[in-house]
Structure 1
Amino acid sequence: MSVTIKDVAREVGVAPSTVSRTLQDHPSISKETKERVRKAMDKLGYVPNASAQNLAKKFSNTIGVVFPVLSSDDRKSNPFYLEAITAMNQEAGKQNVTISFASGETQEELLENVQLMYKQKRVDGFILLYVRKNDPVLQYLVEQSIPYTVIGQPYQYSNGTSCVDNDNQLLGRTATQYLIDKGHKRILFVTNYEKENVFQERCYGYQKSMEESGLEPFPYAVLKQPSDYIEFEETLKKLKPTACMAIDDMFALRVIQLANLYGYTVPDNLSVISFNNSIFTTLIHPYITSIDIHTEELGRIAVQQFIQQLKAPQAMKQKVLIPHTLIERETVLDRAKA
């Protein structure tokens, strides 16, 4: 049989309420009594019921982490999420809190899961791993005054939102300018999603950098359906880009595979640069030149920001920008030296 609060109270010779208040470190219980109660707990092997404690307190000490609805197998296996949640788990452990995850196959299912987690007091609030337009989850959090932090820059409610992000416009500019400095003038942006803010900001940075250098930006290419991959060959023949900018490393591998299939050699005929600097950059040769967005730091700071909200809910919401680093490898040809 498991040891209960009553067993501990009987051992010490105090009321069960005294044991309960000791668990909450209540100031009404003397230091001497707390020490006696804790020694009895150790002696009897008492393990506090976390769920019961959470109901007695206002906080569950658990953060809900919300995944986006992922529309493709490629995006579901994107290492960004694994790297982010690994760092979040590590930081949560340091802060004596736990992480719980919310996901869904549809936007409606995701919203229902988020609502259920909060109504059942399983979490104190949420960290969103994504940003999208007209997001019902974000709208629900705002309307219900639920604490939340966003990894990214939300379209709505930006002024009152705690968020951690990279400067994605600057990321797009950095990648584009690097290619221009290497002698590339015909640069194509390629992506497998287009609705999220990350893509739109990076694409805008690409367009502005091209225009400021007196170059014409191409319309971006979206590869989602099998027909898109077939049409990509015609896109390459028509536009004749010397370089492609891929939305992330995993997708960059797909772009390189397609280029090879269509008779291009990377980087000799077609250079490729991407974002995230994930494990995929060094899986096969040529190793991918990529911009490191420091995903682990994004996850770590997001947990810290959320906990600060719980401690000071009336404090001004903060926006933290994580700097990036360009990692040169093997997929960009220096045409300026050719």
Structure 2
Amino acid sequence: MSITVKDVAKKAGVATSTVSRVINDHPSISEETKKKVRKVMEELGYTPNLAARNLGKQIASAIGVILPPLDSKERLGNPFYLETIETINEEARQSNMSVAVASARDFETLLENVKRMHRQKQVDGFILTYSDKFDPIILYLIEEKIPFTLIGQPYTQEEKVMYVDNDNQLLGKQATEYLIEKGHTKILFATNTTHENLYFERFFGYQKALMMANLPHFPAVAFESAEDYTNFADILEQTQASALVVIDDLFAVRIIQLAQLLGYQVPDDLSVISFNNSIFTTLTHPYLTSMDIDVASLGKIATQQLMAQLQEGSAKTSLRVVVPHELIPRETVLNKKAGVK
């Protein structure tokens, strides 16, 4: 038999309306009464029905996590998003909030999903897990004054966005500097996206490190079509590159496989460094040298900042939180100066 509000009210010796107010933490109820009712709820094993509780308050007790368009195998398999959802879910649970995920294969469908979630009051606010220059969703959230936080750096209207991010330009710079320190002078930057903000920031950092070291820098090697993969052998031969900075771990694994198919050994012929320090870094040999971006902190802080907005009852003006990173050396970078890994 399920326990009801009436059961709690009867045992506590109060009206059912009083129990409802205690559940909603209403200020009109004294702390003494709240403690008494909550003790009875615990004794009876009563769990408030959040949906019913929130019906009158017009809140959902849920947050929406917006993933980028899952339009490729790399996107679908990228552990960054799963790790982020897990962290957000754990942090939300601490506040008795649930998590709903918005995903689609293109921006148009994704925007419709987000609009529907908001209009039907399925969620109280959103966490955007990417920053893309073609993204229409961030403008919708700003225009509608919907509480949200962004994991990443916004392209425009920074003064209207609360966001948490790594210093991606510094990440790109330090990854490249590590290769330079190991004696590499011809270094390429490889990516499978050219419209996300983290690409621009990391590529700028790559360029900055090489310019500061008076070394040549090259156009980004973008893999966005089958032809790009075919041209990779020619690019390596023309540039005589001995090292690659790759946009993330999952794509780095694919690049290493491609290089090996072309007859290059990693790290003996070609060194590789990437970003995220995900599970892919130690799934195959050689283990991948990577920059740890602390995904857990990104998700946790983004959730905490959204919760703060929801408690205040309005969208927040700009705030930037920078999460530190760390280089994790493994086996994919050859020390050319010493001739060892």
Change (3 A) 1:184 1:122: same
Change (3 A) 1:236 1:4: same
Who is 1:333 aligned against? 334
Cα displacement (A) at 1:323? 1.2
Q: Using the alignment, how far apart are the partners of 1:75 and 1:315 within structure 2? A: 29
Asked if 1:189 corresponds to 2:189, the answer is yes
Matches within 5 A, 1:247-262: 247-262=247-262
Q: Secondary structure at the match of 2:228?
A: helix
Asked if 1:323 corresponds to 2:324, the answer is yes
Asked if 1:123 corresponds to 2:113, the answer is no
Q: Using the alignment, how far apart are the partners of 1:43 and 1:223 within structure 2? A: 60
Who is 1:103 aligned against? 103
Q: Deviations over 1:292-331 (max 9, x none)?
A: 1111111111111111222344765321111111111111
Q: Secondary structure at the match of 2:188?
A: strand
Matches within 5 A, 1:20-59: 20-31=20-31, 33-34=33-34, 37-38=37-38, 41=41, 46-59=46-59
Cα displacement (A) at 1:47? 3.4
Q: Deviations over 1:162-185 (max 9, x none)?
A: 111011111111011111111111
Matches within 5 A, 1:269-288: 269-288=269-288
Q: Secondary structure at the match of 1:264?
A: coil
Q: Secondary structure at the match of 1:100?
A: strand
Q: RMSD in angstroms over aligned alpha carbons?
A: 2.1
Who is 1:91 aligned against? 91
| Alpha carbons 2:70, 2:103 under 8 Å: kept | no
Who is 1:152 aligned against? 152
Q: Using the alignment, how far apart are the partners of 1:54 and 1:177 within structure 2? A: 53
Asked if 1:293 corresponds to 2:284, the answer is no
Q: Which shifted more, 3-12 or 265-274?
A: 3-12
Q: Specify the code of the residue in structure 2 equivalent to 1:150.
A: L
Cα displacement (A) at 1:195? 0.6
Asked if 1:215 corresponds to 2:211, the answer is no
Q: Using the alignment, how far apart are the partners of 1:314 and 1:228 within structure 2? A: 42
Q: Which shifted more, 11-20 or 101-110?
A: 11-20
Cα displacement (A) at 1:29? 3.1
Q: Using the alignment, how far apart are the partners of 2:92 and 2:261 within structure 1? A: 45
Who is 1:225 aligned against? 225
Q: Using the alignment, how far apart are the partners of 2:20 and 2:231 within structure 1? A: 67
| Alpha carbons 2:79, 2:279 under 8 Å: kept | yes
Q: Specify the code of the residue in structure 1 equivalent to 2:271.
A: S
Who is 1:172 aligned against? 172
Q: Specify the code of the residue in structure 1 equivalent to 2:310.
A: L
Percentage identity across paired residues of the two chains: 53
Change (3 A) 1:85 1:20: same
Q: Which runs of 5+ in 1 are unaligned?
A: none
Q: Secondary structure at the match of 2:273?
A: strand
Q: Using the alignment, how far apart are the partners of 1:56 and 1:135 within structure 2? A: 34
Change (3 A) 1:211 1:2: same
Q: Which shifted more, 254-263 or 229-238?
A: 229-238
Q: Which runs of 5+ in 2 are unaligned?
A: none
What TM-score, normalized by structure 1, do the two folds share?
Answer: 0.92
Q: Specify the code of the residue in structure 1 equivalent to 2:229.
A: Y
Q: Specify the code of the residue in structure 2 equivalent to 1:153.
A: Q
Change (3 A) 1:37 1:73: same
Q: Deviations over 1:120-155 (max 9, x none)?
A: 222111010000114211111100111110000010
Cα displacement (A) at 1:25? 2.4
Cα displacement (A) at 1:90? 1.9
Cα displacement (A) at 1:235? 1.6
Who is 2:66 aligned against? 66
Change (3 A) 1:182 1:33: closer
Q: Using the alignment, how far apart are the partners of 2:316 and 2:66 within structure 1? A: 23
- Number of residues of Structure 1 aligned to a counterpart in Structure 2: 338
Q: Which shifted more, 1-10 or 239-248?
A: 1-10
Cα displacement (A) at 1:210? 1.2
Q: Specify the code of the residue in structure 2 equivalent to 1:111.
A: L
Q: Which shifted more, 195-204 or 225-234?
A: 225-234
Q: Deviations over 1:222-273 (max 9, x none)?
A: 1233332222112212222111111111111111111111111111111111
| Alpha carbons 2:161, 2:316 under 8 Å: kept | no
Q: Using the alignment, how far apart are the partners of 2:247 and 2:78 within structure 1? A: 12
Change (3 A) 1:314 1:50: closer
Q: Deviations over 1:3-38 (max 9, x none)?
A: 443454456665432332222122333455545644
Cα displacement (A) at 1:117? 1.3
Cα displacement (A) at 1:277? 0.9
Q: Which shifted more, 308-317 or 196-205?
A: 308-317
Q: Specify the code of the residue in structure 2 equivalent to 1:21.
A: R
